Structure 1
Amino acid sequence: MSKLTIKSLQELSQYEGTEMGVSEYHTITQEQINKFADATLDHQWIHLDAERAKTETPFGATIAHGYLTVSLLPYLWSQIASIENLKMQVNYEIESLRFNQAVTVNSDVRLRAKLLSVKDLRGIAKARLEVTLEIKDSKKPAFTGIITFLYHFNG
């Protein structure tokens, strides 16, 4: 499926109730995990200490912070749909987020997104997306949930 280009609330509304697509895979590296730990001041050993994680966790390796995987949503979503002609985009809401499986270091993840609804809030598009972060070669996703973006289109 190729990347969608959407330039208005009306164009976005055409996809309501449909799967929008799937992003490319993104590899979660130890460097990315380390930088996220520094940025969030979350230096728990299960994220940073490879030797200890190998022997003391059921994962056998360090794992990405759950919120690191969530923070990839805008990046991965932009690979599925290019929302253009915008004054502004706002991350509005996350609901029903469930972490289903840990993402070990060097795992490949990708986003699958379905547009649940689009509402017109006086010219602002309120888009609710069902999102699943899939882990390559795993039956269980890293997380599932519903996110909401507000798109302030020009004109």
Structure 2
Amino acid sequence: MTDPRSFDTVEALEACVGEELGVSDWIEMSQSRILRFADATDDRQWIHLDEVRAEAESPYGTTVAHGYLTLSMLPRITAEVFTLKPRVAGINYGLDKVRFLAPVPSDSRIRGRVVLDRVLRQKPDTIRVHLTVTVEIEGGDKPACVAEAIALYIVAP
């Protein structure tokens, strides 16, 4: 695992608006992970779980990860890419836009490119960070997902 880019102050993070902050490590999207996600969410569509049927009937020739499983990797991706040192807590605030552009085949690997779009000061101890995360599939022609993610960070004075 690579060390995340570290920001010692909110001002240092603000100075990077518009920049790509970095790229995460590769994440294995194993069939086992897909099965665990299906169990956790009760989303048991055959295209995710039935390897024999997916090989025979799916346009992808294999099972694929749930779109929301791919999306659920965003906290891991962003944590691998950057850290804000005066942060006391980080809270997922929401998403402005999400597009699933390509399926993630089981047993493939994904990684995320993180661009810092905005840093807004909410209160003296709270900032809102807007990021665009592009989730790439190893060897893929197009991204699996592009998401505009928003996080709130409580920062130490």
Query: TM-score, normalised on structure 1?
Result: 0.95
1:153 is aligned to 155
Distance 2:118 2:13 in 1: 10
Distance 2:89 2:4 in 1: 20
Q: Which runs of 5+ in 2 are unaligned?
A: none
Q: Which runs of 5+ in 1 are unaligned?
A: none
Q: CA deviation at 1:72?
A: 0.4
Q: CA deviation at 1:10?
A: 1.6
1:40 is aligned to 41
Q: CA deviation at 1:2?
A: 5.8
* Aligned residues of 2:10 and 2:84 also touching (Cα < 8 A): no
1:140 is aligned to 142
SS, match of residue 37 in structure 1: helix
Q: CA deviation at 1:48?
A: 0.6
2:97 is aligned to 96
Distance 1:7 1:74 in 2: 20
Q: CA deviation at 1:64?
A: 0.3
Query: TM-score, normalised on structure 2?
Result: 0.94
Q: Which runs of 4+ in 1 moved over 3 A?
A: none
Letter in 1 for 2:128: K
* Aligned residues of 1:5 and 1:82 also touching (Cα < 8 A): yes
1:10 is aligned to 11
* Aligned residues of 1:113 and 1:131 also touching (Cα < 8 A): yes
Number of equivalenced pairs:
155
* Aligned residues of 1:3 and 1:79 also touching (Cα < 8 A): yes
Percent of aligned pairs sharing the same letter? 35
* Aligned residues of 1:17 and 1:116 also touching (Cα < 8 A): yes
1:129 is aligned to 131
* Aligned residues of 2:130 and 2:151 also touching (Cα < 8 A): yes
